[in-house]
Amino acid sequence: MEIPHTPTSAPSRQYKYYDLIMAAYVTILLCANLIGPAKVATLQLPLIGDITFAAGVLFFPISYIFGDILTEVYGYARDRRCVWAGFAALAFAAFMAWVIVVLPPAREWAENQAHVAAIFGNTPRIVAGSIIAFWCGSFVNSFVLAKMKLLTRGRWLWTRTIGSTLCGELVDSALFYTIAFAGVWDQSLLLKVTLTQYVLKSSWEIVVTPVTYKVVNFLKRAEREDYYDRDTDFTPFSLKT
């Protein structure tokens, strides 16, 4: 049941679950970017054959699901704060990983240095591609969902969760692989991997749509909020709510 947004919502309003959702969002984002790239997996699927992908692909799309939930319930501006929190966390994690890799190892630890470098020693291009792609893709996802909510007058939630994810993941995948691997991989491989990752990531949203519905409906009732971004300033360069 739709609970209409009322103009009494104020920046100082306290929500029961917003902080928890932000913490979960940032946690998933960090784990997907730090743990996920450590392994490349191959699955054999019926009728399709072998698909090779970075393990993080299984979990990174969950951050887009959280972005959909945040924008749908709390509005673009509050999701914007979460995106900036995630951006800052990724930037610090990248800096910390670089420091840990370049620190000279203790004599008794020297034999493990190669393993540490293999897991945490991403190239600057990969790090830059990951952070920039996340930032741009997340804002595209939130912007499209907020605008579609106005166009559909709050109906057909599945159209905007899936539609916004298709747009956001397209920007994310295209930017990441272009920044990280253009000129390193040949164009055919670059296009193949980009499209494969895009399809895998976007498919997550379709699969979990029933779960998204349940979470969104629960939060709208619990928070007594169903935000419509009618007068929102959609600049990404702000932390105002």
Listed residue (174, 172, 163) closest to 68, CA to CA: 163
Q: How confident is the model at residue 4 (pLDDT cuts 50, 70, 90)?
A: low
pTM for this structure?
Answer: 0.89
Distance CA 70, CA 55 (A): 25
The hierarchical CATH code for the domain 18-105+114-219 is 1.10.1760
pLDDT of residue 83: 98
For residues 165 and 141, what is the distance between their CA atoms, to the nearest angstrom? 6
pLDDT tens sequence across 85-131: 999 999 999 999 999 999 999 999 899 999 888 888 888 898 999 99
Give CA angle at 149 (146, 155), nearest 5°.
155
The closest of 57, 55, 63, 77 to 27, measured between CA atoms, is 63
| Residue 138, pLDDT score | 97
